[in-house]
């Protein structure tokens, strides 16, 4: 039997672990800026080279990202997978093609499996969406609405897939709004309420059609802009 000697944890590894604990624990929320190198070294109780290496490790993991001249910011509470990286590099139309596939099936299943609690949640999400007019606020409200539809489908695998996909969809939607492209409010005005009604009525075909009107509208515009 071969027994390996226990290796003492390096200062860099300890600094990485502490930074990760702070990020994953929400001490530094996503989007917040980390203290400067000198202050961060003081907080961690290590030299600047050690804190610098720890920050680089979390940048490599996708949890932090550096902006030239601005500092280092929290990008994700958890290490980013290869799939997440691929989503971030994907074309907007590619992201929305997959979104159509996920949400059409979610709408169909929701119409078959929704509970009374799901209907209440959907109505609340729809009302919040209709009250939102600011770009970023509308994007978040729109995604909250679609997440409620996915939740009503009661398929844990589908829910996990949508959750994994959510950041890419939010980034794509925010980028489109910032660039003056199609926003979540460009859809036919009754499309979202029609989807809720179809789910409440237990009509899977109507839910499929309403979902396609919701999501494919944006996809069509994206394809016309980036053929």
In degrees, to the nearest 5, what angle opens at C-alpha 177 toward C-alphas 180 and 164? 145
**Averaged in consecutive runs of 10 residues, what is the pLDDT profile of the chain (227 residues)?**
60 90 88 90 92 90 82 82 58 75 94 96 93 78 91 93 76 64 54 94 96 79 61
Q: Residue 54 has what pLDDT?
A: 92
Predicted TM-score (pTM) of the model is 0.60
Residue among 21, 25, 164, 147 at smallest CA distance from 87 = 164
What's the CATH architecture for 11-74?
Orthogonal Bundle (1.10)
Which pLDDT score is estimated for 96? 76
pLDDT, residue 19, reads: 92
Domain 82-225, what fold? 1.20.120
Task: For the chain, give every domain's residue range.
Answer: 11-74, 82-225
* CB-based contact 181:165 (threshold 8 Å): no
Please report the pLDDT score of residue 97 as a whole number.
Answer: 80
> What is the CB neighbour count within 10 angstroms for residue 58?
22
Helices (H), 75-134: 82-89, 92-113, 116-131
């Amino acid at each position: 039997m071969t027994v390996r000697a226990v290796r003492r944890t390096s200062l860099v590894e300890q600094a990485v672990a502490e930074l990760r604990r702070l990020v994953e624990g929400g001490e530094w929320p996503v989007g917040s800026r980390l203290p400067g190198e000198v202050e961060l070294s003081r907080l961690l109780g290590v030299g600047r080279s050690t804190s610098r290496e720890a920050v680089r490790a979390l940048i490599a993991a996708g949890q932090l990202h550096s902006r030239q001249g601005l500092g280092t910011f929290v990008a994700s509470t958890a290490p980013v997978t290869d799939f997440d990286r691929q989503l971030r590099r994907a074309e907007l139309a590619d992201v929305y093609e997959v979104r159509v596939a996920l949400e059409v099936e979610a709408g169909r299943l929701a119409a078959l499996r929704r509970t009374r609690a799901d209907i209440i949640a959907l109505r609340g999400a729809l009302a919040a969406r209709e009250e939102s007019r600011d770009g970023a606020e509308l994007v978040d409200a729109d995604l909250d609405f679609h997440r409620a539809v996915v939740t009503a489908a009661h398929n844990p695998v589908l829910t996990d897939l949508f959750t994994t996909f959510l950041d890419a969809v939010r980034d794509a939607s925010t980028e489109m709004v910032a660039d003056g492209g199609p926003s979540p409010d460009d859809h036919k005005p009754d499309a979202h309420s029609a989807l809720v009604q179809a789910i409440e009525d237990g009509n899977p075909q109507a839910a499929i059609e309403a979902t396609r009107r919701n999501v494919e509208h944006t996809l069509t515009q994206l394809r016309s802009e980036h053929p």
